[in-house]
Structure 1
Amino acid sequence: MPDTDTVTADPPPGAEVPRRRPALSPSRASDFKQCPLLYRFRAVDRLPEIPTKAQLRGTLVHSVLERLFSLPQADRTPPQAKELLAPAWEELSSERPEWIDLFDQEDPDAVTSWLSSAEQLVDTYFGLEDPRRLEPEACELHVEIELGSGVLLRGYVDRLDVAPTGEIRVVDYKTGAAPREIGEAKAMFQMKFYAVVLWRLRGVVPRQLKLMYLTDGQSLAYTPDEGELIRFERTLEAIWQAILKAGKTGDFRPNPSKLCAWCDHQALCPQYGGTPPPYPGWPEPDPGEESVLDRAD
């Protein structure tokens, strides 16, 4: 189905590619809330980060589930889904050959055993729902809208289900276990972000926001209301204004927390005795884009 919610289009061959306006994505907004300096490292400095095998597995499983829903309904079975794993990984790794380096090149079974762990997540998915009974409107849907305040919101929805009666369900796959308080709040922040974008695009408040955790087979469902989305929209506007203020001066301050233990950039963080690189100025064309790894947590 055409991506009707996307407000950008590919330019014709030979045409000059326009510079994309700075935008706010759920991942980058979450970064700034967690730690403004982390936001700077990722969105402004664009420092490289070494992905984990778990992140790669999440990316692979998301790709497989997207491909699964492109099959005829009757063919969306566990064996068919598992057959998609190897070709999906071959395609992903050919696009990003550096990912292969994460595996022990001396161990011929390293990739095979890792693919088996992805297969287990696919099995868990089928324990949560039967895709043969579903016909999503879109998978990996790119959505983008400018709010009345001028904030440009942009993101990717794992799956959008629309009932014959018009109710909208936003589905997001999580390849980790159901999170504790911090992780759950971060996941719900992401889902409310999508709810605001879809509400403003379509004029309909999503009936359900559903998180599916493929490690332990749990699902979390939430029903937002319009008043809540209005308040959350104001939160996003406030985050963007704070980002713009920091962007003018380069004053992105660290916010130490337990999550620092998983940060790739401790060596550059003043909180740990490091020195950030010289501030390069507000990035162009766009500090809001999400990577495939962002979308596959």
Structure 2
Amino acid sequence: MQGQLPLEGMPRRLYSGTPSRLNAWLDCRRRYRFSYLDRPQPAKGPAWAHNSVGASVHNALAGWWREPYERRTPLTAAILVTNGWITEGFKDEEQSERWLARARDLVSGYVATLDPSDEPVGVERTVATRTKVIALSGRIDRLDRRGDELVVVDYKTGRRPLTQDDARSSLALAVYAIAASTVMRTPCRTVELHHLPTGEIVEWRHTDESLARHLRRAEEVATEAGAADDRYKELVAAPRGTRRGSGEPPPDVPAEIDELFAPTPGPICSWCDFRRHCPQGLAAGPERRPWDGLAE
């Protein structure tokens, strides 16, 4: 089974994934396995407060654009944040309330800079594209029309200031632009990061060549990850019956899986949802409290 090729004349199965899945492979193959292959999935750690803030803000901004034109006001934005506030991960109720107030200010201040009549082409819009290697899909925070072209808008709420390189090098944003062009049949080369804490908008305008480079990179990652996925399935399935009904894999199988999906220890391990299941991750950095990602 290992290294088995498709039958002659039969198309190779496409790797189906999202930018998040591809980036998980690039960041840490063990986390990729825990996230997308192991079933049942290993238990995650507690929710992160900074993720709760980000999700609450994104949901409120999406909801704001779905309101009738006359209700697209900063006050409506603040109400949407309050009504949809996610409380997971905070130290206590006082910290949650303090960040709710910050998030209301962030979102209401941001929408005050928008033209409520400038209707987006899409909000939380799912787009997709495929090549001979990969079937990609993803959801765009906002898709604008500027003249004869589309623009991908991605909201950011993290504490780290953004640079133009963040927009230029983002595989996800490039994939979104390619997929938006495919789905909407309209050119899309510009991607924007809207950093709500600072009010900065970081823009990058891709060329056809730079988009093609990102797509080739996605195909390369998909080829690597797809081969590992297939081998994982073989290793999990093959042992059944080989030990006379024991249902247990031979002792070398877990070792090969661990080697195939080796971890990438580093500072990011402190923030990994699956840290408790990874000895290398536990040793790579200190444990973080669920609210440590907040910029107090």
TM-score (norm. length: structure 2): 0.71
Pair 1:51–1:193, CA change in 2 (3 A): farther
Deviations 1:211-258 (A, max 9, x none): 101112211011111111112111111111111121133411212233
Aligned pair count?
Answer: 240
Task: Output the CA distance in 1 between the equivalents of 2:162 and 2:278.
Answer: 26
Task: Output the CA distance in 1 between the equivalents of 2:163 and 2:95.
Answer: 33
The offset of 1:117, in angstroms, is 2.2
The residue type equivalent to 1:252 in the other structure is: F
3-state DSSP of counterpart to 1:209: strand
The residue type equivalent to 2:142 in the other structure is: R
Identical counterparts, % of pairs: 28
The residue type equivalent to 1:42 in the other structure is: S
Task: Output the CA distance in 2 between the equivalents of 1:151 and 1:22.
Answer: 5
3-state DSSP of counterpart to 1:23: strand
Task: Output the CA distance in 1 between the equivalents of 2:88 and 2:142.
Answer: 31
Residue in structure 1 matched with residue 245 of structure 2 by the alignment:
none
Matched, 1:59 2:55: yes
3-state DSSP of counterpart to 2:66: coil
Contact 2:167 2:173 in 1 (8 A): no
- Structure 1 runs of 4+ with >3 Å offset: 100-105, 177-183, 202-205
The structure number with the bigger radius of gyration is 2
TM-score (norm. length: structure 1): 0.71
Matched, 1:38 2:31: yes
Equivalent in 144, 147, 153 of residue 161 of structure 1? 144
Q: Which moved more, 1:152-161 or 1:44-53?
A: 44-53
Contact 1:205 1:225 in 2 (8 A): no
Contact 2:148 2:187 in 1 (8 A): no
Deviations 1:107-143 (A, max 9, x none): 4x4543332121122134236x323242101100011
Equivalent in 134, 158, 162 of residue 151 of structure 1? 134
Pair 1:113–1:195, CA change in 2 (3 A): same
Q: Where does structure 1 lack aligned partners over 5 or more consecutive residues?
A: 1-20, 94-99, 275-297
Matched, 1:126 2:78: no
Residue in structure 2 matched with residue 72 of structure 1 by the alignment:
68
Ranked by relative contact order (alpha carbons within 8 Å, sequence separation 6 or more), the top structure is 1
Equivalent in 199, 214, 219 of residue 201 of structure 2? 219
Contact 1:178 1:213 in 2 (8 A): no
Contact 1:205 1:226 in 2 (8 A): no
* Mapping of residues 197-212 of structure 1, within 5 Å: 197-212=179-194
Task: Output the CA distance in 2 between the equivalents of 1:28 and 1:182.
Answer: 23
Q: Which moved more, 1:34-43 or 1:180-189?
A: 180-189
Task: Output the CA distance in 1 between the equivalents of 2:201 and 2:111.
Answer: 12
* Mapping of residues 15-30 of structure 1, within 5 Å: 23-30=16-23
